[in-house]
Amino acid sequence: SVEKEAPGGGADGDDSLYPIAVLIDELRNEDVQLRLNSIKKLSTIALALGVERTRTELLPFLTDTIYDEDEVLLALAEQLGNFTMLVGGPEYVHCLLPPLESLATVEETVVRDKAVESLRKISQEHSPVDLEVHFEPLVKRLASGDWFTSRTSACGLFSVCYPRVSSTVKAEIRQHFRTLCSDDTPMVRRAAASKLGEFAKVLELDYVKSDIISLFTALASDEQDSVRLLAVEACVSIATLLPQEDLETLVMPTLRQAAEDKSWRVRYMVADKFSELQKAVGPEITKNDLVPAFQNLLKDCEAEVRAAAANKVKEFCENLPEDSRETIIMTHILPCVKELVSDTNQHVKSALASVIMGLSTILGKDNTVEHLLPLFLAQLKDECPEVRLNIISNLDCVNEVIGIRQLSQSLLPAIVELAEDAKWRVRLAIIEYMPLLAGQLGVEFFDEKLNTLCMAWLIDHVYAIREAATCNLMKLVEKFGAEWAQNTIVPKVLGMANDPNYLHRMTTLFCINSLSEACGQEITTKQMLPVVLKMSNDQVANVRFNVAKSLQKIGPVLDSSALQTEVKPVLEKLATDTDMDVKYFAQENSCLLDLGYPEETTQDHIANSFHNIFIDVQEQLVMYRELTEPVCI
């Protein structure tokens, strides 16, 4: 066992080893957190002990005490993967196998997976001789273990040792893998199916045809759908390994079966891997087999399958053979896409909306205008916000194909219609997309078609719309620049300061708050500040106290001269206002801008406010008692 030495022990009485002794002691501590901390510093302990003591004392100790909390074992499995140099280099790396073998058999999946990951890592550091003497026997022991846990771990180790062992050992490894593929336990068959493609890549082609194909067919017909769906994943790797002439006979029958599987999870996996399968099998099989299969997946009875297939529409169409691409899309794919646009499931529509715009570059201008624009229009009016966002996010794809004029005549009227919708939440959704839309369409087109719309939102009767429109202006200025703002936005915003509706006048202040930083000091000082100062004389108290707030917001943008000569006198005037709230905000913002404030302090104002609230509550209690007293007749 690993022994600790006293602080002053040893010939040299070296105190520096005492912390190491504490760490070693903590490996046996009853406190889980202390053991975990010690395991995480295992490399420090190994360095202190030296390579020989690490091999002869530390590793046997770790192997013997392998039964622990899962988080401790997980940390141990990870640490041991980096221990090669700490045990003396590649020559002694086999010493790490016993503890990792034990970890690869524990019940907790994440610990086993981490142990397998570390075993795969150190397998590369074994010489071919050591691999056969030490590593390959470990794989066999795991593969023939009594518990399914060890057999599942073995599945991940075949591919790393197979290329570097003798032909005799290779035959044994193939036999072990065949046995695991037909194991009685579904978890083992799942593990084997998940590693089938990886194992196929390291096998010789003859063995792929003779061994792997039969295993693939068996796993793809397994009674458990969790096994069958993993076989679909392996199909991609297997198809890339086989010559074109063998695909039709060896792979396609099983793939056709998977595409029509009774379990939606298997069909979902086929849809999810469809583009990879398409590239692996080539153009001829795609035309003859995959096009009908893809149509069926787009029409599947399960929404999850339709969504996965819809997500692959653009990629599938791009990978079709050029000579027949347009014909296949127009004849076979587009009719299915038209049905999905009005699908009952929002996830399906959203998945389609994220890729459908890309079809315009494949089909060209005429087909886009005639067939795709009506679909875009329908999705732009969809009740699901994610569908609308996905369409607006990809407008640039269509813009490149049909041009901005055609786009404005077809889709923009729908956007304007939504922007003026009677439901304020619909208007709010369009506002949120506006900066994105502006970036896609460019400044000239925006000024011509959408600028008026953005300004109209500032005087909307719903506060949430006015607030969102203010944020929208700030984002537009960040996108188009201060010069554009000065010429286009600022004059219109400042013009609202004279609006008879006090809510609109307040919106002017909110806009100035948002735009001042983006526009910079010169525009703020020369154009915005005079308007804010003038509004300090407004008849409505809400406007006046928002002037105080605005001066504090734009203060950091202004120079000290403007603060002292223009801002300070106005705040001092507002600090003596007849309205309590105006006084409060004027005094508070004078403090924040470090301008000082006269007479009444903020504390006085707070005290007065609480006094007023107290009186108000008392009055309400009296009224309540009067209402609840029994009436005497």
Say if residue 75's pLDDT is above 50.
yes
- Average pLDDT along the chain: 83
Instruction: Please tell me whether residue 428 adopts helix, strand or coil conformation.
Output: helix
By percentage, how much of the chain surpasses pLDDT 90?
25
- Spatial distance between the Cα atoms of 136 and 121, rounded to a whole number of angstroms: 14
Predicted confidence at residue 310, as pLDDT, reads 95
- Spatial distance between the Cα atoms of 23 and 575, rounded to a whole number of angstroms: 65
Say if residue 5's pLDDT is above 50.
no
Provide the pLDDT confidence category of residue 270 given band limits of 50, 70 and 90: very high
Q: With b meaning 16 or more CB within 10 Å and e meaning fewer, what string describes 251-277?
A: bbebbeebbebeebebbbbbbbbbbbb
Q: Minimum mean pLDDT among 155-164, 359-368, 607-616: which range?
A: 607-616
The answer to whether 502 touches 540, Cβ cutoff 8 Å, is: yes
- Spatial distance between the Cα atoms of 226 and 101, rounded to a whole number of angstroms: 27
Q: Which run of H or E residues covers position 100?
A: helix 97-103
Say if residue 171's pLDDT is above 80.
yes
Predicted confidence at residue 609, as pLDDT, reads 53
Say if residue 409's pLDDT is above 90.
no
Is the four-CA dihedral 459, 460, 466, 469 of positive or negative sign?
negative
Q: Minimum mean pLDDT among 8-17, 151-160, 166-175: which range?
A: 8-17
Q: Which run of H or E residues covers position 480?
A: helix 463-480
Predicted confidence at residue 22, as pLDDT, reads 65
Which CA distances in Å does 616 have to 404, 581, 626? 61, 17, 16
Q: With b meaning 16 or more CB within 10 Å and e meaning fewer, what string describes 586-596?
A: bbbbbeebebe
Say if residue 628's pLDDT is above 80.
no
Provide the pLDDT confidence category of residue 244 given band limits of 50, 70 and 90: confident
